[in-house]
Amino acid sequence: MLTDFYEITMANGYLECGFQDKEAVFDMFFRKVPDNAGFAIFAGLEQLITFLDNLKFSEDDLEYLRKSKMFSEEFLDYLENFTFDCDVWSVPEGTPVFPNEPVIIVKGPIIQAQFIETMLLTTVNHQSLIATKANRIVRAARGKEVMEFGARRAQGYDAAIYGSRAAYIGGCSSTSCVISANEYDIPVAGTMAHSWIQTFDSEYEAFKCYANIYPDNCIFLVDTYNVLKSGVPNAIRVFDEILKPKGIIPKGIRIDSGDIAYLSKKSRALLDQAGYQDVKIIASNSLDENIIRDLQEQGAAVDIYAVGENLITAKSAPVFGGVYKLCAVEHNGKLQPRIKLSETIEKVNLPHLKKLYRFYSKETGRNVADLVALWDEEINVEHGMTIFDPNASWKKKFLTNIEKKELLQPIFQRGKLVYQMPSLEEIRNYCMEQVELLWDEVKRFEFPHKYYVDLSFKLWDLKNSMLSDLGARGLE
């Protein structure tokens, strides 16, 4: 029932029109990558699968709908006995994806394929947003660890929980969120807040007490009073007094305010002088990929970046604009392509049931282009392949020495789950590998190169002839 009301009015409407068994095909795709980035990371499939595999309507749901007096008893019966019966294809979680290519396809009775729109979009839009942002931040950190610390600023509980799952897929190394760490087996991180320090009569006593309780997990927050005059000296004193006698190497210090570049370098020097070369410096305080890039460039002595609100809300661009559009519908027993014209050119979609291919260079192993084709086309790359820009079809490119991979995997067949979900660890590793295969130009933070997402000639031709046809009817 996490759905928009119109999904229900339409579903009831399809039933009333006798369309309930009419087959339809919907694509999920997106038009722009947040932050004007070169690619997005697809995430959220596992939660979508769980939802679709358990889709049913409670007595309370039905009662609510009955009370609105808008729906027939036949429809309420249909919902009561609902079984999901669609085919679903999806790209695997962790895949780098690009604008205007289908990342999920749903084919089945229109009443069902329509109904799942809101839930499908909410799930995939949210996690893809956070995985994409996390991957940017992780790449900015150039090999330094990134911890996800955002729960308190997340847009609600699920945003914290699924957000830290998505952040892990995007490359974060740990989370502060306990429920998420427990549920998804993500490494958990965190030690103390300023309030711990303030509860004691002095910073020194606060550190000492902590070190006695958690000798193996000492990360001291050093900025409650003054990082260089108080925090780091007190940390060193406690390392010396409590941990050194036990032979334990302290874990780290955390700086949460002030100028991180300056303070981290000065703190590093103090720690090194005291013989604590292995103690890590953790930085937090409204970090994002831009500040991290700057800090890295200025040689900040930070080992681990802890990132909160800017990651968990994708603050600089907090919307992943995935849409779900009808692209074919059964007519006289045959699938007929559909296109949406609309008043805004960019909103025109790709008609018909499709496949998505990714071409890799046999030489370098890197991605060279994606191709969207009709579902029943033969795509043969053995003797090379000519691709062209769908918006400027005279711009052609001949690709040789490539191999192709089909990206959309079968997830449900006639409502039966046929996909074996990889573990979160496998998804994260797959994501890291696939991002490695992208050109550096596509990974640039500002004004990245536009990756080629081209159409097969047949699909391009179908789209253009449908548009011409609408034009001829005066509807351009």
Subset of residues 75 to 104 that bind its own copies, contact rule: CB under 8 A: none
Cα–Cα dist 187/398, whole Å: 46
160 forms part of the interface with its own copies (CB under 8 A): yes
**3-class DSSP state for residue 387?**
strand
Angle at 22 between CA 19 and CA 28, to 5 degrees: 110
Of 124-153, binders to its own copies (CB under 8 A) are 125-126, 129-130, 149, 151-153
Spatial CA neighbour of 245 closest among 254, 234, 237, 253? 237
- Residues 236 to 255: which contact its own copies by CB under 8 A? none
Nearest to its own copies of 154, 292 (CB atom) = 154
CB atoms within 10 A of CB 78: 18
Q: Is there binding between residue 340 and its own copies (CB under 8 A)?
A: yes
Site string for its own copies, 427-446 (x = CB under 8 A): --------------------
Name residues contacting its own copies, limited to 258-277 (CB under 8 A). 258-259, 263
Residues 171-230 that bind its own copies (CB under 8 A): 176-179, 181-182, 188-196, 198-199, 201, 209-210, 212-214, 217, 223-227, 229-230
CA-CA-CA-CA dihedral for 42, 45, 48, 54, to nearest 10 = 180
Report the residue number, 135 or 176, with the smaller CB distance to its own copies: 176
5 in contact with its own copies (CB under 8 A): yes
**Minimal distance, residue 9 CB to its own copies, in Å:** 6
**361 touching its own copies, by CB under 8 A:** no
Query: Which C-beta is closer to its own copies: that of 22 or that of 366?
Result: 22
> Whose structure tokens read 């006698």?
245
- Is 30 a binding residue for its own copies by CB under 8 A? The answer is no
One symbol per residue from 43 to 82: x for binding its own copies (CB under 8 A), - otherwise; what is it? -----------------xx--x---x-x------------
Cα gap 239→249, rounded to integer Å = 8
Tokens of 30: 């997106």
Q: Are 388 and 443 in contact (CB under 8 A)?
A: no
Which residue type sits at 296? Q
* Residue of the chain from 329, 399, 421, 437 that contacts its own copies (CB under 8 A): 329
User: Does residue 434 contact residue 407 with C-beta atoms inside 8 Å?
Assistant: no
Q: What dihedral do alpha carbons 256, 258, 262, 263 form, nearest 10°?
A: -50
One of 121, 353, 368, 369 touching its own copies (CB under 8 A): 121
